[in-house]
Amino acid sequence: MGEMKKASSLADLGADADIGKKIFKKIHHAVPGTPTKRHTKITIVGVGNVGMAIAQTILTQDIAEELALVDTNSDKLQGEQLDLQHAAAFLPRVQIRADTDYAITAQSNLCIITAGARQNPGESRLDLLQRNLNIFRSIVPKLVEKSPGCLLLVVSNPVDVLTYITWKLSGFPPNRVIGSGTNLDSSRFRFMLADYLDVNAQDVQAYMVGEHGDSSVALWSSISVGGVPILSFVTNKSEEFEQQVLENIRKKVVHSAYEVIRLKGYTSWAVGYSVANLARSLLRDQRKIHPVSLLSKGFYGIGDEVEVFLSLPAMLGRSGVLSVAQITLTDEEKKRLQNSAKTLWEIQQQLNI
């Protein structure tokens, strides 16, 4: 028998072979990742509500063969480890280790940081950041020493500045340091649109980008449902009215997290699913697009000297951020992104790093 004929690619059919390079753009100074090994190990630093929600979701989704949990509270660590191990009969086979010593994190493929200080009443944002910087100084170098080839995923808030801090402390190329950013904001956004339109959220394409939190930017022009651009259906009313409705939806997305905190004291499950979703895309080299916090200099008019991490729709794979989708932004959307970058850069320059 002859060789099986290879399925033709679009390039063979006359399509532009460089079209992918026009849609996606590499981030500055990216370095390819290490080859994937079959044994996948994930470390989670911080076993609070968020850290454990991430651990639980990673376990149930069969993403890793080994899970290492690290925290400063040894009793809580041991209790969480035992509680998870007692569920072994109901879960895929995963080795669960827990310790205050970072030695157990060695050879991790992905390290997820959820630890951090909470804001005290009357404390300024800068003072809180300085306290978190000191905490991260005791975490990041140890992770890097034990797993020099790992990806770093920051979940702690304020996520954009803490991802920048992690990048600086790690010495890693920027494609290997990512913040969970607006991945969850975008999921909330898609849920609200899907709920309103009575369709499955997976059929809604919609992104929130920029700074995670109150100043996030909703990309209205890129929203589509089943491939249909949503803005083409709201042009029958005055533009001012449309803008107000859309801004109300954006605000509701932003405040939905505060609503969960008000009602149950903290957010955890949605963050757990969001981060497990990122872990799967990264470690399984899925090349899916997620809005995550990444080094944004040189994108959408943000200056090359402005080293800030903001969320942009990025293709994720085994070496971290593979490239950034070149979505067409309106002038207003670009301006808001650039303003967020400027604010973050001013704060970061005051940090003692």
The reply, when asked if residue 156 is annotated as ligand binding, is yes
Q: Which residue of the set 28, 39, 212, 255 is catalytic? A: 212
Question: How would you class 327 by CB atoms within 10 Å of its CB: exposed for 0-12, middle for 13-18, buried for 19 or more?
Answer: middle
14 marked as binding residue: no
> Cβ of 303: how many Cβ atoms within 10 Å?
13
Between helix 125-137 and helix 159-170 the angle, nearest 10°, is 40
Bridge pairing between strands 224-225 and 228-229: antiparallel
Closest CA to 202 of 179, 181, 227, 178: 227
Residue 285 annotated as lining a ligand binding site: no
Quote helix, strand, coil % in the chain, to nearest 5.
45, 20, 35
* Residue 51 marked ligand-binding: yes
Residue with token string 């007692």: 86
> Annotation-wise, does 71 bind a ligand?
yes
46 is in an annotated binding site: yes
Q: How far apart are CA 127 and CA 140, in angstroms?
A: 20
132 is in an annotated binding site: yes
* Residue 79 annotated in ligand binding: no
Q: Is 161 helix (H, G, I), strand (E, B) or coil?
A: helix
Are 192 and 257 spatial neighbours (Cβ–Cβ below 8 Å)?
Answer: no
How many CB atoms lie under 10 A from the CB of residue 168? 17
User: d(Cα 76, Cα 55) in Å, to the nearest integer?
Assistant: 14
Does 29 qualify as catalytic in the annotation?
A: no
For residue 155, say whether it is annotated as part of any ligand binding site.
yes
Cβ atoms of residues 36 and 318 within 8 Å: yes
Enzyme catalytic residues = 212
Binding positions:
46-51, 71, 132, 155-157
Binding positions for NAD(+):
46-51, 71, 132, 155-157
